[in-house]
Amino acid sequence: MALHEYRRYGRQMVLDGIGLSGQLKLKKSSVLVVGAGGLGCPAIQYLAAAGVGTLGIVDHDVVELSNLQRQILHSDTTIGLPKAESAKAASERLQPMIKVVSHACSLNAANARAILSKYDIILDCTDNLPTRYLLSDTAVLVGKPLVSGAALKFDGQLCVYNLGNTGPCYRCIFPKPPKRDGEGTCEEVGVLGVVTGVIGTLQAMEAIKIITGLRDEQPSLLIFSALSSPSFRTMKLRSRRPDCPGCGGDPSTRDRFVNEQDYVSFCGGEAPNLEETGKVNIGGRIKPNALSESLKGTSPTVIDVRSPTEFSICHLPGSTNVPLSVLKREPTAHISQIGDTFVVCRLGNDSQTAANILRSVSSDPSKVFDLIGGLRAWSKEVDPMFPIY
C-alpha cells in the first residue's frame, strides 16, 4: 500500500480486527451493489470511502427529481442520466483510486449469473420481489453471500443470506412472496430518506465485516422501526430448509431451477388493470384531459382516496378526502346517487379499487369513473404546476 493510503485509511486501520491485513482484504475485494437508489447510494458511498477495491453498480433506471430526497449520490445535474453512471461518477469523485464498473441494465435471469459471478459479495438494494428471489437464487448458484436490505415508510430490514454457503437463503425464510398487508411500494406509500440511509449504511457495514472476517456466522434478521423504542430488534433466523428449491437438494438442479423460474408471475405479476381483467363490468375509466373537461361548469363529486397527509400536500379543487380504508368500511356514505362520481388517487391503482366498490353500491354504476394514471398523470397532462411528487 502507498503512503497516501495509510493516511487515507489510518482511522479504520488502527481498529482491532482491521489493521493492515484487513485494509488489504478490502482493497482486493469486489462488491456488487444491485440498485443505485435509496439503499444503494449510501452503501456505495461507504464501500467506496472504506477502500473496497472494485465496486459494481447495477441499475436500469434514470435519475428523477423525486429520487433526490434519499438517493444521495445523484443530484440535480444528473437528472435524466442512468443511475448506474451517475453513482459511478459520484463514487469516483469520492474515491478516485478504486475501480467502479457500471452495469446500466436490468438484472434478469439471463444475465444475473454472469454479472454476480464476477464479484465477492452481492448487495440487494432493489425494491421488488422478483429481483429479490432472482438475486437470492443466483447468489446461491455462484456461491456468494447476499446482503439484503429493504425500507418502506419509517421501517427497514437487513439480513445476510447464503453466508458461508451454509446460511439460509431468501427462499428458505420466504418460501412464498411475503404478503404486503395492504402496503404498497415506496412510490405508493413513501419512505423517509434517513431510513434508507440507515439500512444502506448497515448493508455496507455487513459487507465490510464479511470481507475483513469480523462477522460471526449466526444468521439473524435486523428490524429497524424509526418510530418505535427500541428502534432496532434482531430475530434469530432458522437454518436452511433441506427442501428449499433455491439452496437445498442437488446443486446440479439449481441452474435449471433459476432458468425455468418466471420470477414476475411467481411474485404475483404486475398490478392488474381491472378493466382488462373484466372485473370492471360497468362504469368508466377517465383520462386526465377528459376529467378536466368534465369538471368545467359542473360540480360533480370528486373523491380523493389518498391518505390525509397526501391530500394536505395537494388536491384537486372541490375534491373530498376519503381514504381507501374509510371508503371500504362505509362506501354508501360517499357515493353521489344523482350526478357523476370521479375517484382519484396518486397513481391510478387505489382509485380503480375504490371505484369498483362504489359501483357495487351505486344505483347507476355507469356514473362512477376512476382517473387513469392518477394525479401523477393529471400533473403531466393537464396541470404541470400541480405539485404531485
Ligand X SMILES: Nc1ncnc2c1ncn2[C@@H]1O[C@H](COP(=O)(O)OP(=O)(O)OP(=O)(O)O)[C@@H](O)[C@H]1O
Active site residues: 186, 345
Sheet holding 284-286, edge to edge: 284-286, 368-371, 341-344, 301-304, 320-321
Nearer to ligand X, 171 or 359 (CB): 171
Q: Is 128 annotated as a binding residue?
A: yes
49 SS3 class: helix
Residues contacting 106, CB < 8 A, separation 6+: 60
Nearer to ligand X, 46 or 342 (CB): 46
Nearer to ligand X, 127 or 350 (CB): 127
Cβ at position 66, least distance to ligand X in Å: 6
Cβ at position 44, least distance to ligand X in Å: 12
Nearer to ligand X, 48 or 191 (CB): 191
Nearest to 123 by CA among 215, 47, 220, 216: 47
Nearer to ligand X, 115 or 172 (CB): 115
Residue nearest to ligand X (CB): 37
Whether the CB-CB separation of 36 and 84 falls below 8 Å is answered with yes
Q: Which residues bind ligand X (CB under 6 A)?
A: 35-38, 58-61, 66-67, 71, 83, 106-107, 126-128, 131, 185-187
Q: Is 38 annotated as a binding residue?
A: yes
Whether the CB-CB separation of 219 and 164 falls below 8 Å is answered with no
Dist. CA 42–CA 199, nearest whole Å: 9
Whether the CB-CB separation of 232 and 198 falls below 8 Å is answered with no
End-to-end CA separation in angstroms for the chain: 47
Cβ at position 133, least distance to ligand X in Å: 11
Q: Is 164 annotated as a binding residue?
A: no
32 SS3 class: strand
Angle 358-360-362 from CA coordinates, rounded to 5°: 65
Cβ at position 16, least distance to ligand X in Å: 35
Cβ at position 40, least distance to ligand X in Å: 6
Place of cell 433466523: 237
Q: Is 67 annotated as a binding residue?
A: yes
Angle 316-322-327 from CA coordinates, rounded to 5°: 140
Nearer to ligand X, 66 or 289 (CB): 66
Cβ at position 196, least distance to ligand X in Å: 6
Q: Is 247 annotated as a binding residue?
A: yes
Q: Please, is 96 exposed, middle or buried when counting C-beta atoms within 10 Å of its C-beta (0-12, 13-18, 19+)?
A: exposed
Binding site: what residues are annotated?
Answer: 38, 59, 66-70, 83, 127-128, 169, 172, 244, 247
Binding site for Zn(2+): what residues are annotated?
Answer: 169, 172, 244, 247
